Amino acid sequence: MMKDGKMMCDSTMMKDGKMMCDSTMMKNHKNMGHKGMMDHSKMMKDGEHKMGNSMVHEGIIDINAVDKNGDKKVFQDQMDWNVISDEPGSCPMCGMKLKEVSIYEAKTKLITNGFKVK
């Protein structure tokens, strides 16, 4: 059943806990306009990170390699500890602003939160 352009279901459409659709409903759904709908092909799948994003680190993390300018400081997310950069920015995973910390502090937080460091 359609209402305001949305597929609606009620108890008469359920059988053994599963939604049962007839061919008319499916045909109507296929003919619906899809303006404003998400392009699911652009969404990340579980376990994926943005390709080429060098601030999301996995495996054994080498903090010294992240510190490209050699100032003994990095920028680290305070929620996603493995998000570390040598430049200010935002976490691509949660959007939080990265905090400037010493290399020692970044390593300590990684180890405390179960990450392996070099």
Residue 81 lies in a domain: yes
Which of the four pLDDT bands, split at 50, 70 and 90, describes residue 29?
Answer: very low
Within a domain: residue 65?
A: yes
Give domain status of residue 74, yes or no. Answer: yes
Per-residue HEC secondary structure of the chain comes to: CEECCEECCCHHHEECCEECCCHHHHHHHHHCCCCCCCCHHHCCCCCCCCCCCCCECCCEECHHHHCCCCCCEEEECCCCCCEEECCCCECCCCCCECEEEEHHHHHHHHHHCCCEEC
pLDDT of residue 54: 86
Q: How many residues does the chain have?
A: 118
Q: Is residue 72 part of a domain?
A: yes
Within a domain: 93:
yes
Asked whether the beta carbons of 73 and 99 are under 8 A apart, the reply is: no
**Domain assignment present for 100:** yes
Print the domain residue range for 77.
60-117
pLDDT tens for residues 38-72? 454 444 444 434 435 689 999 999 999 999 999 99
Residue 1 makes CB contacts below 8 A (sequence gap 6+) with 7, 8, 9, 10, 13, 25
Q: In total, how many domains does the chain have? A: 1
Which of the four pLDDT bands, split at 50, 70 and 90, describes residue 12?
low
Instruction: Note whether residue 21 is domain-resident.
Output: no
pTM for this predicted structure: 0.56
- 71 lies in some domain: yes
| Residue 4 scores a pLDDT above 80 | no
Token pair 């059943």 is found at 1
